[in-house]
Amino acid sequence: MSPSKDDSTTHFGYQTVKKEEKAGKVAEVFHSVAAKYDLMNDLMSMGIHRLWKRFTITLSGVRRGQQVLDIAGGTGDLARVFAREVGATGRVVLADINDSMLKVGRDKLIDGGYTLVEYVQANAECLPFPDNTFDIITIAFGLRNVTDKDAALRSMYRVLKPNGRLLILEFSKPIFDPLAKVYDAYSFSVLPAMGQLVTQDADSYRYLAESIRMHPDQQTLKQMMENAGFYQCDYHNLTGGIVALHRGYK
């Protein structure tokens, strides 16, 4: 992805918008889809997103008593498992910039008996936590929606403890051309139609497909993590590179 020549603009899907407008536009998307977000995740990925998230938990190495921050935590899939793993002596914070998503996640977790999770409405670019707070930070399917990804990575680095780890689960670039062609057809034909059918909102799912294409590829994101200060950065391609899990240490 080539950088925009105008530093005052950024990408919202395939559109070019002013940087200060992007957060509001992303917010509209997630306000619209929040109520049906879990259902659509299952339909869009045919349930495979649960395996991707399980792999993220495994690579996090989470242990009892640790402090975990799940950024763009949405409806709480990761936070729920982390809360179980860290136990009563640990701490799990579910953060999301979108209050509709945060409310859905909070209601879902409380209904499930997870009463110790903390909820914070926060922008990933300027996290409201002290330096060196968390043992583990995760962000699943959220980084591509952030306006200034470099600022967000620096913010995550700041609040991570020394030797802590960051895990980024995100859509990426398929590593096989035939898969890429099928994936494109699915993304731009099936997803918007599915979004219209389930949420009466094709445009939001068209944006999600476009935002995936505008997100940095595997190697570029790895380099961005290193530029932010992370070391021993690596990534695992999942489902042929449709999704990648990046990991880095402070």
pLDDT tens-digit readout, 113-139: 999 999 999 999 999 999 999 999 999
Position 191 pLDDT exceeds 80: no
Query: What is the C-alpha end-to-end distance of the chain, expressed in Å?
Result: 26
Tens digits of residue pLDDT in 219-247: 999 999 999 999 999 999 999 999 999 99
Q: What distance in Å separates the CA atoms of residue 159 and residue 172, rounded to the nearest whole number?
A: 25
CB-based contact 107:75 (threshold 8 Å): no
| Structural tokens at position 187 | 């993304």
Domain boundaries, the chain: 20-174+206-249
| 8 Å CB contact between 32 and 205 | no
| Higher pLDDT among residues 209 and 84, named by residue | 84
* Max CA separation in the chain (angstroms): 49
pLDDT band at residue 2 using 50, 70 and 90 as cut-offs: very low
pLDDT at 5 over 60: no
Question: Counting Cβ atoms within 10 Å, is residue 9 exposed (0-12), middle (13-18) or buried (19+)?
Answer: middle
CATH 3.40.1780.10, applies to 20-174+206-249: no
Residue 216 has pLDDT above 50, yes or no: yes
Identify the pLDDT of residue 44: 65
What is the distance between the alpha carbons of residues 194 and 142, in angstroms, rounded to a whole number?
Answer: 21
Q: Tell me if 20 sits within 8 A of 9, measured CB to CB.
A: no
Q: Is 184 labelled a binding residue?
A: no
Q: Which pLDDT score is estimated for 4?
A: 44
Please report the pLDDT score of residue 27 as a whole number: 55
| Residue 10, beta-bridge partner list | 17
Q: What is the C-alpha to C-alpha distance for residues 189 and 242, in angstroms, rounded to an integer?
A: 17
Give the pLDDT of residue 1: 43
What average pLDDT does this structure show over 57-75?
95
Is 70 flagged in the annotation as binding?
Answer: no
Q: Is 177 annotated as a binding residue?
A: no
> Do 49 and 72 meet the contact criterion of CB atoms below 8 Å apart?
no
124 annotated ligand binder: yes
Q: Is residue 28 predicted with pLDDT exceeding 70?
A: no
Beta bridge partners, 244, equal: 170, 237
Nearest-5° Cα angle at 8, 7 to 13: 95
